[in-house]
Structure 1
Amino acid sequence: MNKQILSPRLTLTRLARQDWELIHSIYSNPALMKHIGEVKSDEEIRRTFDKEIAPWSIKSTHWLTWIINENSSCNNVGLISICTRNLEKLTAEVGFIILEAYKGKGYATEAIKIIIEFAVDTLGFKKFIAVCSEEHLGSRRVLEKAGMFLDEIVPNCTQIDGKLVNDCLYSLESGYFFIDRDARGI
């Protein structure tokens, strides 16, 4: 499995033990979790982290996660993950979290594009899905810029801070891939 995936502005590095502090700081941060879910306890974060650093194959049920780094500064930008959702139909879910200081720079869109390219070329996925809360307009814009289509809005689907929110279900199928392999249309 590729340890690093490169683009003009980003390096994605497979999650490793040394990334514990970053992962802990993300999943325990109320501002970053505001549109994703409940802030996790230290114990929950540790369990999730241990799963995500375990060996991964397309048959795995846990997320395959990379840390997103900005090439110009080598700073951590956030994380991006994929998870097999339907092996028979070669469908993967894409998820991402971008640190506040790096939002609005196009890094999430760029990371999604290169992860999808990697997942198609290396893992053979044919379809990608993503879920975000209806009120998280930034994530919705990112998914649409990455070429994904809004399929459905499911009312009162996910609980965040004791409140049920609507989920937006996005998808991208192989016939609609945006990837420009010559220019790496990122």
Structure 2
Amino acid sequence: MSPISEDDWPLFHTLQTDPEVISLCFDEPTLLEIQSKFRSKLEPWTPDSSHWYCLVVSELETGIKVGITGYCIQNGTAEVGFMFLPSFHGRGYGTESLRALVEYSRKHFCLKSFSAVVTEGNLGSEKVLIKSGFTLHSVIPDAYGIGGQMYADHIYMMENIVT
């Protein structure tokens, strides 16, 4: 994993517009919205930043960029997120990268509390979170609209990590 850079625009744009990727995340944003999100992820990051820390996940053997992961810290809790190209779904990259992100953040930034919000029906993301040690904390009915349909938010937590 490496911090996102200007060179990662094609990957980021694809992840924000691919119907298979975003179908259970959000409605397709405009190009201006995508550009704004991308620029915010390029800003220097510290644990006190209000914007997302974004890392690009690449295959070790080939260097092919397969997705992104990262988090935003609010009130001492890091809300994690991840998106992967559909051709790399189901290969364990989400779980491996999320575990590494949590471990690195625990060691280097002393983070102990992590959360994730998953849209109802996004079973692949829920499996990644569970395999990575997160547990379902709460369900908020009709919390988020995608394509004119309301979905529940599933809130996952990982707290009090000890080695």
TM-score calculated relative to the size of structure 1: 0.84
Q: Identity of paired residues, percent?
A: 31
Match of 1:171 in 2: 157
Deviation at 1:104, TM superposition (A): 0.7
Q: Are residue 21 (structure 1) and residue 7 (structure 2) matched?
A: no
Q: Are residue 101 (structure 1) and residue 87 (structure 2) matched?
A: yes
Q: Are residue 92 (structure 1) and residue 73 (structure 2) matched?
A: no
TM-score calculated relative to the size of structure 2: 0.96
Consecutive unaligned residues in structure 2, runs of 5 or more? none
Match of 1:69 in 2: 58
Q: Secondary structure at the match of 2:128?
A: helix
Structure 1 residue ranges, 4+ long, deviating more than 2 angstroms after superposition: none
Q: Is residue 129–residue 172 contact of structure 1 (8 Å, CA) maintained in 2? A: yes
Match of 1:111 in 2: 97
Q: Secondary structure at the match of 1:74?
A: coil
Matched residues in 1 for 2:124 and 2:15: separation?
17
Kindly provide the CA deviation profile for residues 30-84 of structure 1, in whole angstroms up to 9, marking residues without a partner as x: 2210111111111001111111100111111111001100112211111001110
Output the amino acid matched with 1:23.
F
Match of 1:130 in 2: 116
Q: Is residue 21–residue 83 contact of structure 2 (8 Å, CA) maintained in 1? A: yes
Q: Secondary structure at the match of 1:36?
A: coil
Deviation at 1:174, TM superposition (A): 2.3
Q: Is residue 140–residue 152 contact of structure 2 (8 Å, CA) maintained in 1? A: yes
Q: Is residue 142–residue 152 contact of structure 2 (8 Å, CA) maintained in 1? A: yes
Match of 1:152 in 2: 138
Q: Is residue 28–residue 41 contact of structure 1 (8 Å, CA) maintained in 2? A: no
Computed over aligned residues only, the root mean square deviation of the Cα atoms, in angstroms, reads 1.1
Matched residues in 1 for 2:77 and 2:156: separation?
12
Q: Which of residues 80, 83, 90 in structure 1 aligns to 2:72?
A: 83
Q: Are residue 162 (structure 1) and residue 151 (structure 2) matched?
A: no
Q: Is residue 63–residue 82 contact of structure 1 (8 Å, CA) maintained in 2? A: yes
Alignment coverage as a number of residue pairs: 163
Q: Is residue 15–residue 84 contact of structure 2 (8 Å, CA) maintained in 1? A: no
Q: Is residue 51–residue 62 contact of structure 1 (8 Å, CA) maintained in 2? A: yes
